[in-house]
Amino acid sequence: MNLNDLSIRVRITLGMGLILLLAMASAGFTLYQNLTIKYETSEVADSWIPAIENLGRMKDHLSTHYLAVGKRLSSGDQAGADALTQQLQTIQSELAAATQIYADTLLTYQPGDPALAVEQALYDRFQAERDAYFRHVDEVVRMWKEAVGPWEMQAAQDAFVEQAPQLFQSALDAMQAILAFNLEGTSDAARKAADLVVQAE
């Protein structure tokens, strides 16, 4: 075997090694892309979508509470006052449970994520608006239950009509802002997953 043959064999061996190395790198990159796509899509399915569904339940609880109080006060009938109180407490407990589920999602943010500050501010606003609404309605219901004549009953009804709709709407708007934020996040995550699929292809 002469030096020329040996040189050719070395070059062939090196070339084959380089091809193998590139193939391994390509396979590794493909695996990384697949894992990234799987993570992004599971993030949409397992995190964003359930959070949005839970926010929908929160809106339902708040709306049910408002409608229950408005219907009973507008009737002027004090019968079943204790039943109304129990109904409202149940709705508030269900809303509190759903709100806690939402609050727990804030713990999934990575430290320093700028989105956390934004969503935390939205959540704080919702809590303040919700509590203001509940405080007013609790006072109105107390007035209604303790009313002993038409004038006191009318005062309770007027107090509800004059402030409750605005307070309820403010709480609903605050919740809608959270929902809009999460819908945007879901859209961004889905778009990112789609972009990764295109890149992988």
DSSP character string of 65-79: HHHHHHHHHHHT--T
- Report the range of poorest mean pLDDT among 3-7, 57-61, 174-178: 3-7
pLDDT tens for 15-67 read 676 777 776 666 556 555 555 545 544 444 456 677 888 888 999 999 999 99
In our burial notation (b when 16+ CB lie closer than 10 A, e otherwise), range 162-174 reads: ebbeebbebbbeb
For the residues of 145-174, what is the DSSP string, one character each? HH--SHHHHHHHHHHHHHHHHHHHHHHHHH
In sequence order, what are the residues at sequence separation of 6 or more whose Cβ sits closer than 8 angstroms to the Cβ of residue 30?
Answer: 200
**Average of per-residue pLDDT across 169-197:** 78
- Report the range of poorest mean pLDDT among 86-100, 147-161, 162-176: 147-161
Q: What is the pLDDT of residue 178?
A: 92
Q: What is the pLDDT of residue 20?
A: 72
Q: Is the pLDDT of residue 167 over 90?
A: yes
Q: What is the pLDDT of residue 194?
A: 57
| Residue showing tokens 């590794």 | 28
For the residues of 75-100, what is the DSSP string, one character each? HT--TTHHHHHHHHHHHHHHHHHHHH
Q: Is the pLDDT of residue 119 over 80?
A: yes
Highest-pLDDT range among 44-53, 72-81, 97-106: 97-106
Backbone phi, psi, residue 79, to 5°: -65, 140
Highest-pLDDT range among 33-47, 72-86, 157-171: 157-171
Q: What is the pLDDT of residue 48?
A: 67
| pTM recorded for the entire structure | 0.72
- Report the range of poorest mean pLDDT among 3-17, 103-117, 119-133: 3-17
- Average model confidence (pLDDT) for the chain? 81
What's the fold here for domain 39-200?
A: Four Helix Bundle (Hemerythrin (Met), subunit A) (1.20.120)
| Residue showing tokens 């009737």 | 75
Q: What is the pLDDT of residue 126?
A: 96
